[in-house]
Chains A and B, each alone.
Chain A
C-alpha cells in the first residue's frame, strides 16, 4: 500500500552555494512546461493503475516548486486533485522560496487542496543569506510568511546553521524571528560541505572557512533550547514542531511506510508487488539487472536525474534499483527509527534479533556509550545520540 507521494520539481532561479540536490537553474519556459506535462502523465498513469488509492500524504518538493509560477503549479495540483481522492489525504505540502511565492499562488493552491507550506528561509541575517548564495533577503521571508498565513496556518521554516561568518547571536536572532513568524514547524540543518558545490570550491581555494563542527554543535544545541522553551518539541534529528504539527509525510520516511516518488531524481520505497505494478504502469523503465525472483522485503528506486526524460514523448524514465532483504529492511527501520525522539520499541529490536542476533548487543553497547537510553519500553536517542547520530546509525546498519 503506497501511502506517500513525492513529486520532484528540479528547477530553481539560481543554485545556492551549498546545494548538491537534483536541481538546476532554469530559465526556459518550454522546458519547464514539458517537464510538468511529463510529470502529469506519470501521475495519470499511476492513478489509472490504481496505485494512488491509499495516498495519505503528498509532498511537492524540489528544487523550488514555487519557481514554476502560479499557472504551472495550478495545472499540476489540479491534475493531482483529479487523480487522487484528496478527502483521504491528511497532509499536502508544497515547498516554496520567499522570492517566488505570492498571495495569488497561496490562495489558488489552498483552493485546490494544499494545506501546508514549507518555506526555505535558511536565515534571517542578510549577510549569512548572501554567503549561502540565496537570492532573497530577510524582508522577503517575512512577506512570504504573511502571504502564507492569509490562508494556511500550518507552515514550516528551514534554517541552516554554521554558515560562513555566522555568529551565535545571528543564529539566535534567526531562531527568535522564525518563532515569531508563527511557524508551526522548524527544520534545523547544520551546513554540510558537499563536493562539487560553489561553497566547496571556495573552501578548497581558501576564500571561505570550512564549517566548524564545534560551532555547529553549539548552534544545534542552542536551537533545541530556544525552540523547546517556546513549546516546540524535537521529534526527529532535524525537526521541531508544536504538538500535532509534525510532518506526517516526512515521518513516513522514517517509519517503513511505502512511498512513490515521481520526477527527476525522485526516490521511492516500495514492496516488490508495487514496484512491478509501477513498471507495468509505465512509471519506470524495467531494470533488467534487478532480480526479484527470490523476492525482496523492500525495493528502493531512484529515478534518473535527466529532466527531459519526463517529457511525454520519451516514455518511462530509467531508474536505479536496490533491493533489501528482510534483515536489511528491519535494520534500516531500526536505524531510521532512531532518528526520531520516539525511537524504537524493545519489541521491534527483539523481533529484529530473531534474524540478526547481534542487534540486541549493539543497542546495549550504544546505551553504555551514552548514545541511547531506554525509556518506557523504548530505546530513544540521548542528546549525544542526536548530535553523534552517525555512531548510532552506523552501528546498527553495520550489521547488514
Chain B
C-alpha cells in the first residue's frame, strides 16, 4: 500500500469510556469482522479483559476502508488500555502512530486518564481527533464535554466527532476524519529497513512473534534480520497483518503495521522497543527506544503448595515476555516458604497478573501486602533498596529512609472537593493546586506518598465521591520519611509475611486496626491465639482469638455417617487453602488484610 493511503492511529480514553466498543464498530463498518464472528470487544482477547470489560494489552489490527473520496485506505488501529496502571502500554502504542482518537464519555466528561493519555499523545506529536462518545445516552452533555476538552486539555474541539459505539452513530464521520486529518506516514522506502517492535508474544509453535511498525525500508519472509539493541539475528519465517486474524503478506513496507514470526524459542531474545533491521547492510542508528519501565508496587507471591514453585517461575517467565513491566526475584519467607518478590505497575496490574497466574496456569497463590521501593541510607554510608518489609534494616544502623512520592491528579465534581481533601490529607497528602475544567468538573493536584496510594486509597476515593472521582498519578521523587516496620506476632511468633512499613505516626492506629481485622479472619483453633502488633520490641496492640471449645457432629446414626464424612472432607478442603504458620492455621485473606484496614 502506498504510504499516502495508510493511517496509523490509536484510540485512547479513560477506562470505561467505551473505547473498545467503538473499536468494535470500526471493525464492523470496515467489514473486517463478519457479524457472525462478532463477539463484544473483539480486540480484548484475554478472558479477564472481556470479563472485567477492560483492555490490558494493546492490540493492533489492520482494516481496509473505502472512503467517500472513492479511494481505499489501510487503517492500522491500535487499541490501548485506559487504566492508570497501564500508561506504559499506551506510550508504547503511540510511538507506532501518527494520530490518536481521544474518546471522551459524553456523560462523564474529561477524567484523570483522559488527561494523562492526551498528554502522552501530545508529547508524541500525534494529531488528536476528539470523539465525544455515548451521545445517545439520556445523561449525555456533549457541549459541557466539548468545553472541558478545550479548556482543560487545550485541544480544539469544534470539530469533535459525536459518536455512539453502541448504535454506530458517527462512526462513519470518525473514519472520514481519520482519513482527512491524520497525516500519512512518512519514511524512506529505499533506505535500509528500520522497524519498531511495539509488542510481542510467545507462540508455542512459531516462537516469538513481534508486532512491528515499519519506519524505513521493507521486510519480507526469508529476510535475515538483526535486533539492533540485543544484536540477535534470525531468519524471518513469516510477515503479515492482523485483520484481526493473522494473515500472511509478501511484504511490509513503510508506514505499515504487522507481525513478524521469528521462530526464536527464547522469549528473552526479542525486546519490546528494539529496532529490527536487515542483518546485512542494515541501518546504522536504531530508532529511539522506550524508556525502561519501572515497577512501582512490589508484593510477595507464594505458592500454597510448595511443589508449585517451579511452575510459578515458568509462568512468570511466560507472562513477562510481553509485559516488560513485570519483574521478579526469588524471595524466601519463614512463614510462606519459597516464592518471588514481584514488581508491578500498580494494584490493578498486580491483581490481573495474580488472576492470570491462577487461572491460566492453574496455580494457587498467596499474595502478601503490597509495598513500594524505599531507599534506605545506613549510618556506615552505604545505601540499599528496600522492596519488602523483610529487607528493612535494623533501626540502629539506619541513618534515614526515603520513600517515593507521587503527584496525584484527581478529577471530581466540585461538591466532593471537601471529601477528597479530607481523605487525601489523612493519607499524608499535601495539596498543590486546583483548576476548574468547567463549572461541573475540577482538577485537584496533591503530592503524597505512593505507599498511601496503594493502601486502598482509590477504593476510598471512589466510595467517598459516590464513584465520581478519577485518579491518575505519577512518581515525582523521593523524600525522607519517618518510617517504621510494623510486625505482627501470632501466638508469640513474628510472621514475616504480615509485616509492613508504615509512617511512625500511623503505626499505632494501623497496628490496632490490623490486629482487630486479623482477629476476624483467623479461625478459632484448639488453643488461644494471641495476635500482637509490634514496632521493634514494643507491643502496640493485642487481640486474642479464643480457643475453639466445641466442634463436633453430635448426631451420627445410620444415614448421618456418609453425610458427615462429606462434611469432614469439605472442612479438609478448606484447611488446604490455609497456610500453617507455627501451629496456627492462617487463611489466605490474612496476608491481604493490611490493604483493607480503615485506620480511622
Q: What residues make up the interface of A, taking CB atoms closer than 8 Å to B?
A: 6, 22, 188-190, 192, 213-214, 216-217, 220, 237-238, 250, 253-254, 259, 261, 265-269, 300, 302, 322, 332, 335-336, 339, 369, 371, 384, 386-391, 393-394, 397-398
Contacts and interface: CB of A to CB of B under 8 A. Distances in A.
A359 B572 CA distance: 16
Contacts of A335: 565
18 contacts: A22-B559, A190-B552, A192-B554, A216-B550, A238-B554, A238-B555, A253-B556, A266-B559, A267-B560, A268-B558, A302-B559, A332-B565, A369-B526, A387-B551, A388-B550, A390-B568, A391-B551, A393-B553
Contacts of A339: 556
A389 B572 CA distance: 14
B52 interface: no
A330 B552 CA distance: 21
B466 interface: no
B205 interface: no
B405 to A, nearest CB: 46
Nearest to B553: A390
With most chain B CB atoms within 10 A of its CB, the pick from A192, A393, A398 is: A393
Contact of A6 (B553, B558, B564): B558
B571 interface: yes
A394 B572 contact: yes
A261 B559 CA distance: 9
B167 interface: no
Q: Is chain B's binding surface mostly helix, strand, loop or mixed? A: loop
Given A213-B549, A217-B549, A322-B562, A397 B557 contact: no
Contacts of B399: none
A237 B556 contact: yes
Nearest to A188: B554
B341 to A, nearest CB: 34
A267 B559 contact: yes
Interface of B: 526, 546, 548-562, 564-565, 568-569, 571-572
In the A-B complex, the 3 residue pairs with the closest CB atoms: A267-B559, A389-B552, A217-B549
A132 B560 CA distance: 21
Given A394-B571, A397-B568, A336 B561 contact: yes
A363 B163 CA distance: 72
Contact of A214 (B549, B565, B571): B549
A390 B571 contact: yes
B554 A190 contact: yes
Given A6-B558, A388-B549, A390-B571, 16 more contacts: A189-B555, A190-B552, A214-B546, A214-B550, A216-B550, A250-B557, A254-B556, A261-B559, A269-B558, A336-B556, A369-B526, A386-B552, A391-B526, A394-B568, A397-B568, A398-B572
Given A369-B526, A397-B569, A213 B554 contact: no
A390 B550 CA distance: 9
B547 to A, nearest CB: 9
B565 to A, nearest CB: 6
Nearest to B555: A189
Contacts of B552: 190, 237, 386-390
Nearest to A388: B551
Contacts of B558: 6, 253, 259, 261, 266-269
A214 B546 CA distance: 10
A98 to B, nearest CB: 20
B227 to A, nearest CB: 54
B556 A217 contact: no
A346 to B, nearest CB: 23
A385 to B, nearest CB: 9
Contacts of A6: 558
Contact of A388 (B526, B554, B555): B526
Given A394-B571, A397-B565, A190 B551 contact: no
Contacts of B526: 369, 371, 384, 388, 391
Contacts of B557: 250, 253
B572 to A, nearest CB: 5
Contacts of A267: 558-562
Nearest to A268: B558
Contacts of A254: 556
Contacts of B556: 237-238, 253-254, 336, 339
A302 B557 CA distance: 13
A63 to B, nearest CB: 13
Contacts of B549: 213-214, 217, 387-388
B562 A189 contact: no
B160 to A, nearest CB: 53
B530 to A, nearest CB: 18
A398 B573 CA distance: 10
Contacts of B559: 22, 261, 265-267, 302
A153 B82 CA distance: 80
B562 A388 contact: no
B546 to A, nearest CB: 8
Contacts of A394: 568, 571-572
Contacts of B550: 190, 213-214, 216-217, 220, 387-388
Nearest to B524: A213
B119 to A, nearest CB: 52
Contacts of A237: 552, 554, 556
Residue picked from A216, A335, A389, A390, most chain B C-beta under 10 Å: A390
B569 to A, nearest CB: 7
Contacts of A384: 526
B571 A332 contact: no
A302 B562 contact: yes
Contact of A332 (B551, B554, B561, B572): B561
Contacts of A397: 565, 568-569
B110 to A, nearest CB: 45
A388 B548 contact: yes
A237 B552 CA distance: 9
Given A237-B556, A398-B572, A300 B551 contact: no
Interface centre among A22, A213, A261 (most CB of B within 10 A): A213
Nearest to B583: A369
B575 to A, nearest CB: 8
A204 to B, nearest CB: 19
A265 B526 CA distance: 35
A323 to B, nearest CB: 11
A388 to B, nearest CB: 5
Nearest to B549: A217
B386 to A, nearest CB: 40
Contacts of A192: 554-555
A192 B553 CA distance: 9
Chain A CB within 10 A, most for which of B549, B550, B562, B569: B550
B176 to A, nearest CB: 59
A217 B558 CA distance: 25
B570 to A, nearest CB: 10
A213 B569 CA distance: 21
A267 B558 CA distance: 6
Contacts of B565: 332, 335, 397
B568 A393 contact: yes
A9 to B, nearest CB: 14
A54 B568 CA distance: 33
Nearest to A162: B550
Contacts of A336: 556, 561
A276 B571 CA distance: 33
A108 to B, nearest CB: 26
Instruction: From A261, A267, A369, A386, name the one whose CB has the most chain B CB atoms within 10 angstroms.
Output: A267
Nearest to A398: B572
A287 to B, nearest CB: 14
A186 to B, nearest CB: 13
B580 to A, nearest CB: 13
B358 to A, nearest CB: 25
B562 A300 contact: yes
A6 B557 CA distance: 11
B528 to A, nearest CB: 13
Nearest to A219: B550
A44 to B, nearest CB: 22
Contacts of A253: 556-558, 561
